[in-house]
Chains A and B, each alone.
Chain A
Amino acid sequence: MSGTTPTTPRIALVLAGCMMLVLAGCRAPGKPGPAEPRPDRVMEFAKLYKQNCAACHGEEGKRGLAVSLSNPVYIAIAGKEAVLNATAKGGPGKLMPAFAKSYGGTLTDAQIEVLADGIVRHWGQPQLLAGKNPPSYAATLAGDAAAGNAAYTAYCTRCHAEEAIDKTHIAGPITDANYLALISDQGLRTAILSGRPEEGMPDWRGIAPRPLTDRQVTDIVAWLASLRKTPASPNTASSKEKSHE
């Protein structure tokens, strides 16, 4: 036993010395990295997007549940103003909350600007639709539901009927009143105009043999809107106060 007495502390000393050398020399694993900024000081597009939008619009703006924000056709039609507006005040339907602090969200105006600007600059293609004369982003005409029904049956049912004809692009029915209660007219219009490229829905140019006209798009939306239980409310049905139980 007594043999260990003098050597053990010496070993400890040597170990401690080595440690100090290592500390001074290389990068210690415990050394803290740069401090996290406050949430309202984050100004990087990728970080802001991941934190606030990725859940519904998909990582990198792709394959999300809602509008594909990385779809350049969507960006070209909607423009930065509409993107900024939706981000700040909430989407056209009630499914997307407002993000600006002034509308009850958590992001500052500067952060909203970073997001809108980032979406347009990262994912947009400036001259994509130059000369293609797409229908306007927002509807300007009054819709005709009967004409819309005809156009829908002609162009949409091949993918959207319960027994779809185009088996490669089975998309499921969108005439279900429950579904229509959860999407706004603008949401429908956006879907028709910009399509869902990742899932196989073409944009307004590829749905019919000829590109759909503004009138046709407006009519189809009008017809779909007429299938809602509460055609008066343009948005989601949560305004309807129905009590369960």
Chain B
Amino acid sequence: MVQPKIIKLVDGEKGNIIKITDLQLDGVMRRRLLDLGFIKGAQVEVVRKSPLGDPIAFRVSQTTIALRKEESSKIEGELISNGE
């Protein structure tokens, strides 16, 4: 068994699927992200980057949500697919 690779959402490449393991955010933003489906165990797909590189759009809970790197760098998960 290979250890699953843990990466931050911000470091995901287009097509990567990441299973969230940790959210290092607090307060209102944490709650907002939880409401949107960025919960532990959720699978998130990296959809695309904005033309200037930030924000990045993610597919989560059947919707597409864009996050700035300030937030997406604080969400970690196991890389479970490269999208190939």
* A, B bound: no
Interface residues of A (CB under 8 A from B): none
Interface residues of B (CB under 8 A from A): none
